[in-house]
Amino acid sequence: MTTIDPTERIDLTGLWAGFGFQAGHMFTPEGHHLEVQDMVWWSLTSNIAREWRQMMEEARPRPLRSAVTAKAHSATNSSVICLRDALRKRRERRLGASDPGPAAEPSNVVHMRRGPKPVKRG
């Protein structure tokens, strides 16, 4: 039976290369030590990353059916998308409205500012 000394450094391999354990702490390839309480947010972080990948995949242009059209399309578009534009287009489709642009009339919204209170009479 093998015994593990908790003070001895244990390096992980494979996809976890660079990570390891030493003295009851996990460490990263950058040399950061992780406490147990630091690891409770991994599930949330993983879920956020998965949602981000799905959102980016949905925003990526769909492949075209025609080979000639696909070549012309790939020459003009890259696989990198601008998140701001993708989210704006999705919001426009959902709401059925577009950004008013610079030629739009100014808003009639009154911005409240702190300052001296007006004198009340009466």
Domain segments of the chain as ranges: 41-95
**Chain segment 3-56, per-residue pLDDT in tens:** 766 678 888 889 889 999 888 888 889 988 888 887 888 888 899 999 999 888
Q: How many CA atoms lie within 13 A of 101 on its CB side?
A: 3
Amino acid letter, residue 112:
M
pLDDT in the model for residue 1: 59
Look at residue 62 and tell me whether its pLDDT is greater than 60: yes
CB 21 within 8 A of CB 27: yes
pLDDT in the model for residue 102: 63
